[in-house]
């Protein structure tokens, strides 16, 4: 009998692919790096656009204010003169017609007087009339009713 011995050779690792996963020629590490670059670029772009918008807003606001001030510089003296005359007219005393008793008083005081008069009229309207007046009114009303009845009776007789 012949003995045959077979030796098994261990398989080599050379024929196996590397342990990193490679898909379509791009590895995972490269994809993560690309995603980070895109994210950082987006954030930087958003910050730049926001800064530009703030700058433009401030720039145009300042320009608009300067233009308004330039326009007001021309109109302001006339406006101030008119406003001063109006204030003097509204807040001064003046005799309009002494014979008829017409006087001008400051508008603030005039409003207070009107409010007080209206309040007093409202209080008088809310007060019940004195008992004497009620009795007189009742008698007058009764007399008026009697006179109407008599007048109607006379009208029917004719």
**Do 85 and 30 sit in the same domain of this protein?**
yes
User: What per-residue confidence (pLDDT) applies to 4?
Assistant: 57
Q: Would 7 be classed as within a structural domain?
A: no
User: What per-residue confidence (pLDDT) applies to 121?
Assistant: 92
- Minimal CA–CA distance to 143: which of 153, 135, 155? 135
R_g of the chain computed on alpha carbons: 52
User: What per-residue confidence (pLDDT) applies to 125?
Assistant: 87
**Do 104 and 68 sit in the same domain of this protein?**
no
Return the structure tokens found at 29.
């590490």
Domain range for 115: 97-146
**Do 110 and 67 sit in the same domain of this protein?**
no
The pair phi, psi for residue 155, each rounded to 5°, is: -65, -30
User: What per-residue confidence (pLDDT) applies to 113?
Assistant: 93
User: What per-residue confidence (pLDDT) applies to 158?
Assistant: 44
Final residue in a domain of this structure, among 73, 90, 107: 90
Distance CA 119, CA 101 (A): 24
User: What per-residue confidence (pLDDT) applies to 157?
Assistant: 47
Final residue in a domain of this structure, among 49, 67, 90: 90
Q: How many domains does the chain have?
A: 2
pLDDT < 50 stretches in the chain: 155, 157-158
User: What per-residue confidence (pLDDT) applies to 128?
Assistant: 75
Final residue in a domain of this structure, among 74, 90, 106: 90
Q: Would 10 be classed as within a structural domain?
A: no
Distance CA 156, CA 37 (A): 113
Q: Would 67 be classed as within a structural domain?
A: yes
User: What per-residue confidence (pLDDT) applies to 127?
Assistant: 79
The pair phi, psi for residue 21, each rounded to 5°, is: -85, 125
User: What per-residue confidence (pLDDT) applies to 2?
Assistant: 56
Using DSSP bridges, classify how beta strands 26-27 and 22-23 pair: parallel, antiparallel or unpaired. antiparallel
**Do 107 and 69 sit in the same domain of this protein?**
no
**Do 78 and 108 sit in the same domain of this protein?**
no
Distance CA 104, CA 93 (A): 5
């Amino acid at each position: 009998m012949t003995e045959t011995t077979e030796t098994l050779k261990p398989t080599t690792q050379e024929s196996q692919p590397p342990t990193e996963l490679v898909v379509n020629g791009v590895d995972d590490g490269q994809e993560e790096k690309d995603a980070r670059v895109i994210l950082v670029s987006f954030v930087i772009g958003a910050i730049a656009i926001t800064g530009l918008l703030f700058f433009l807003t401030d720039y145009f606001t300042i320009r608009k204010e300067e233009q308004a001030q330039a326009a007001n510089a021309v109109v302001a003296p006339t406006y101030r003169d008119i406003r001063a005359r109006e204030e003097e007219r509204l807040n001064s005393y003046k005799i309009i017609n002494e014979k008829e008793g017409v006087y001008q008083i400051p508008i603030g005081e005039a409003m207070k007087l009107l409010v007080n008069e209206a309040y007093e009229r409202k209080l008088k309207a809310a007060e019940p009339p004195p008992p004497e007046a009620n009795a007189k009114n009742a008698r007058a009303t009764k007399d008026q009713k009697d006179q109407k009845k008599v007048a109607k009776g006379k009208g029917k007789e004719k």
